[in-house]
């Protein structure tokens, strides 16, 4: 599995994104790593089952190249790509927990993750306690001898809350728990959770890591030992990422820093405009001084991400009118692409939750989530100004 490499001494994210894991000399002289679509490779004497080169085993040369690049971007020893973001989350939990184990879950979660923790976890014999993301007393009260893991999202979906991430990582280390974080909303451009002590970092690479709304993938990064366990479980469950999708993901990663920083700046400019508009009742963006976690986000992050949410004055009818009024954003779920997207989480990402569960999380029916693309900030602001009747 070894290949020639060319180490470039830099910590600049932009340079790492382009050159990490790229072999020198390049294959056949190509500056683009080739796509290996094949499933059959010659075996080497002494190889274990998990070392055989085979797509389902995540050892195809294209998969190995992608894994090395992903690990470099998160500052981890190792990484593995999965068939979706949910495959990354569920496989991580399956590799970490056994029947009878207990998980602490802090804050609110993406609807699919919440549904898995509330519906599927009990079927697997796991207990889950949801706790406040800043409530250390609640974390301690939730502890039991069977507690094995602590899971959180870097920036919550869709209210953009920022938990006490450093505190959660430290608490997990103190009590021997595996700390798991979903870093999708931040990306490693904004925050690298391993630097504050998280054991396992997950992403839906469908979103900003790829950035072009044309593939589905997931990522887990961590130590060689932890990723080895996750890859073994992934091999058995068959949730491997197809090399062609991985080839596209590796391509998208090279422009990650440029896209995320542009989107972040535009996102904050638009959020400031909306916060000051009489037609908007509430804006949830960690870059705003009014956000309850602004100070923490400023201390932890390099930027604030590109996804935020807001509520128009006038409820669901006003939200529907705004959807009809804007011209630039697509009215569609997902996030992190080069095009701006708007959606109502109550009808899309969190539709699997009951109305009572959504209300308890502050996800009201008129809440709009906005994923900022790479369009010019002044064009998006003008579009919203017109749609709001200015």
SS3 114: helix
The tokens for 132 are 């406040």
CA distances from 34 to 21, 23, 45, 241, 279 (A): 13, 11, 26, 16, 51
What are phi and psi for residue 185, nearest 5 degrees? -70, -30
Answer yes or no: are the C-beta atoms of 36 and 213 closer than 8 Å.
no
The tokens for 65 are 């190249």
DSSP string, 156-200: -TTT-----HHHHHHHHHHTTPEEEEE-TTTHHHH--GGGGT-SE
How much is the CA Rg of the chain, to the nearest whole Å? 21
H/E stretch holding 96: helix 85-96
Answer yes or no: are the C-beta atoms of 335 and 93 closer than 8 Å.
no
CA distances from 333 to 98, 209, 240 (A): 33, 16, 24
CA distance 10 to 84: 31
> Which residues belong to the active site?
56, 110, 182, 207
Beta carbons within 8 Å of 356's beta carbon, 6+ residues apart = none
Cα–chain center distance at 184: 1
List the beta bridge partners of residue 203.
219
Answer yes or no: are the C-beta atoms of 254 and 365 closer than 8 Å.
no
CA distance 179 to 152: 8
Task: Determine how many CB atoms are found less than 10 A away from the CB of residue 4.
Answer: 9
CA distance 368 to 144: 38
Peptide bond into 158 cis (omega under 30): yes
Instruction: Indicate the length of the chain as a whole number.
Output: 390
């Amino acid at each position: 599995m070894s290949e020639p490499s060319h180490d470039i001494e830099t910590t600049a994210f932009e340079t790492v994104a382009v050159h990490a894991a790229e072999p020198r000399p390049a294959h056949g002289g190509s500056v683009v790593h080739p796509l290996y679509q094949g499933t059959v490779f010659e075996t080497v004497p002494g190889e274990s089952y998990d070392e055989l080169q085979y797509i389902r085993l995540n050892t195809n040369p294209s998969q190995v190249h992608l894994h090395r690049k992903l690990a470099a971007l998160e500052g981890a020893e190792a990484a593995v790509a999965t068939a979706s973001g949910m495959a990354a989350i569920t496989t991580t939990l399956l590799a970490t927990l056994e029947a009878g184990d207990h998980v602490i879950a802090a804050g609110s979660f993406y609807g699919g993750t919440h549904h898995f923790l509330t519906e599927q976890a009990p079927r697997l014999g796991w207990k889950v306690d949801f706790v406040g993301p800043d409530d250390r007393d609640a974390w301690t009260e939730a502890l039991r001898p069977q507690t094995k893991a602590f899971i959180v999202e870097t920036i919550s979906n869709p209210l953009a809350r920022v938990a006490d991430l450093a505190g959660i990582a430290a608490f997990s280390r103190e009590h021997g728990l595996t700390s798991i974080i979903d870093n999708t909303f931040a990306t490693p451009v904004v925050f690298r959770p391993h630097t504050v002590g998280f054991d396992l970092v997950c992403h839906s690479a469908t979103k900003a890591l790829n950035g072009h709304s044309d593939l589905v993938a997931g990522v887990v990064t961590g130590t060689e030992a932890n990723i080895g366990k996750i890859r073994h479980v992934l091999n058995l469950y068959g949730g491997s990422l197809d090399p062609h999708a991985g080839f596209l993901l590796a391509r998208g990663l090279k422009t990650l820093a440029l896209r995320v920083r542009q989107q972040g700046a535009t996102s904050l400019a638009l959020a400031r405009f909306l916060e000051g508009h009489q037609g908007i009742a509430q804006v949830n963006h960690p870059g705003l001084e009014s956000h309850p976690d602004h100070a923490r986000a400023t201390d932890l992050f390099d930027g604030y991400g590109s996804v935020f949410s807001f509520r128009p004055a006038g409820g669901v009818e006003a939200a529907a009118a705004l959807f009809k009024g804007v011209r630039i954003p697509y009215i569609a779920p997902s996030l992190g692409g080069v095009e701006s997207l708007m959606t109502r989480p109550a009808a899309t990402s969190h539709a699997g939750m009951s109305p009572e569960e959504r209300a308890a999380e502050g996800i009201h029916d008129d809440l709009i989530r906005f994923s900022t693309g790479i369009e010019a900030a002044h064009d998006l602001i003008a579009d919203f100004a017109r749609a709001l009747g200015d």
